[in-house]
Amino acid sequence: MSPADPAVPTTAGPGTPATPTAAGPGTPATPTAAGPGTPATPTAAGPGTPATQTRLWGGRFGGGGPSGALTALSRSTHFDWQLAPYDLAGSRAHARVLHRAGLLTGDELEQMVGALTELSAEVAAGTFTAVEADEDVHEALERGLTEKLGALGGKLRAGRSRNDQIATDLRLYLRHTVRALVGEVAALEAALVGLADRYRDVAAPGMTHLQHAQPVLIAHQLLAHAHAFARDVDRLQDWDRRTAVSPYGSGALAGSSLPLDPDAVAAELGFDRASDNSIDGVSDRDFAAEFCFAAALLGVHLSRLGEEVVLWTSTEFGWARLDDAWATGSSIMPQKKNPDIAELARGKSGRFVGNLTGLLTMLKGLPLAYDRDLQEDKESVFDSMQQLLLLLPAVTGMVATLTLRPEVLEAAAPQGFALATDVAEWLVRQGVPFRSAHEISGSMVAYCEQRGLELDELSDAQLAEVAPELTPDVRTVLSVPGALAARRARGGTAPERVAEQLASLGELARAHTAWASSSPVAAAL
């Protein structure tokens, strides 16, 4: 494939779950501007629907219910409604456990599972939504169930609390939606490998401190980014193993005296096991904080890639050109072609770090078991997920269609005395101690600077004038191809080492795509 004709990969590649769509059963919620799976705006409660009818608590409270200000503060349906498919999946599993414990008859179980399945379809279609009187997603869905089943719907509350429900729902949401996220990262890995392969033989200036340091293959530089994204996927896969623990059965904090089977619920919901400690089950938000950390680090990697694209496509560098479909213009300057995707990747990294910081700060002072502070855990998680699902396809498209300029890159590769290290290492191979070799090579650079010469332009006499150790044979390393070929140790920029990376990273991207295509939660939704 020619450099001018790159193929644009699909968002996540074959077998990867589509970017989440409507929050229907088995599908992660759609990321939108307001958050993944932005819920429908709760409708006003109709006449005869007072808050006390839907409230999951009462009895010891008299009067007319909570104050309006408290109700407004407590309401969370505007962001937690996207957990509805996961909450309903948990309810179906819980109903089956209640039946096995003898707390529901076979007929009652059939009615309850049927009503919950109907409710799932209505939630997916948008025909059942939260109303203003509903405090949270749990309350809204119980209202929907009791509207269908009457008093039988109230039996589902036995043996569970909103404390273990919400901890389970959030794990289900993340374990399911992270698969879509990994699919997007895998697509970016594949795009970077494809770009590196198209320009695999092109030399470029390797930089430290944003100054010319040593020549590298530009493919080596691009694959360094691919390695970072591969680690992001590895981190999320490792996170998934720790998150595959079900809090269901923990109750409010002490477990349940009813003969329930938390491991059966865990198995139905795609978890590896149930929580070993009921207090930890409802308290633990490590999985949320760890996800936000993984998201923040992924955001940092996207930001670093974005920064390089901004530099490479600038007039001053001129190393690359953006495709018109993946750039924007100026409202006043007709000539402008702006790298908005790269800049937004750079800008959003601060948002991801902020979400992590906010979540950790909220968690740091909490006593064990459930505290209402934990209502604040979800928006950080949802925002990080939604923004990454929004950002990654754009970055992938930008990378896949980027056109590099080999003539500019190769002309710049030896500039800035980038072969000075090769001179020092050549001297070491001649038996000169590296400290002395470093000094001789530095003197050679100074000599050239004073005379406006490049290293390979020195005559035999001038080489000897700098140092007697600099024989004419030093010219064997004063070429970019020679410098590249010499770095053949593992991890180096030699062509054969880069070819190995292209193969291994391509295989890894395909493995990540395969992992993303199979959600452990999907069967329960």
Exposure string of 41-56, with b = 16+ CB inside 10 Å and e = fewer, is ebeebeeeeebeebbe
From 209, 331, 517, 518, active-site residue: 209
225 flagged as catalytic? no
Contacting residues for 187 by C-beta, under 8 A, at least 6 apart: 9, 10, 11, 12, 13, 16, 392, 393, 396, 513
Per the CB < 8 A criterion, the answer to whether 92 and 113 are in contact is: yes
Residue keyed to tokens 């390979």? 456
Name the catalytic one among 67, 74, 314, 330.
Answer: 330
Q: What angle do CA 226, 228, 232 make, to 5 degrees?
A: 110
- 259 φ/ψ sector (left φ>0, alpha ψ -120 to 50, else beta): beta
Cβ atoms of 56 and 162 within 8 Å: the answer is yes
Give, for 274, the enclosing helix (H) or strand (E): strand 273-274
Residue appearing with tokens 């699902």: 389
The tokens of 504 are what?
A: 């291994």
- Among the listed residues 186, 223, 228, 180, the one whose alpha carbon sits nearest the alpha carbon of residue 13: 186
189 vs 507: CA distance, rounded Å: 10
Distance CA 228, CA 189 (A): 9
- If you search the block for the tokens 């309350």, which residue do you land on? 139
Q: In angstroms, what CA-CA distances link 374 with 79, 282, 360, 367?
A: 14, 10, 11, 11
> Would you call 227 a catalytic residue per the annotation?
no
Long-range pairs for 439-446 at CB < 8 Å and ≥24 separation?
A: 440/466, 440/467, 440/469, 440/470, 443/467, 444/420, 444/470, 445/417, 445/420
Active site residues: 209, 330
